[in-house]
Amino acid sequence: MTNFEKITATPAALGAFLASLTVIESPWEEMFHRTFCAGCGKEDCVRCPHERERNDPTWWLSRAVQGGQEAPAERETGKSPAEAGGKGK
Which amino acid is it at 61? Answer: L
Are the CB atoms for 59 and 13 separated by under 8 Å? no
Tens of pLDDT, residues 22-69: 888 999 899 999 999 988 888 888 888 898 888 889 999 998 887 765
In a 3-state reduction of DSSP, which class is residue 88? coil
Q: Are 79 and 85 in contact (CB under 8 A)?
A: no
Count Cβ atoms within 10 A of the Cβ of residue 57 and give its class: 0-12 exposed, 13-18 middle, 19 or more buried. Answer: buried
Q: Report which of residues 33 and 77 the model is more confident about.
A: 33
What pTM, to 2 d.p., does this model score? Answer: 0.62
Q: How sure is the predictor about 18, in pLDDT bands with cuts at 50, 70 and 90?
A: very high
Q: DSSP character for 46?
A: G
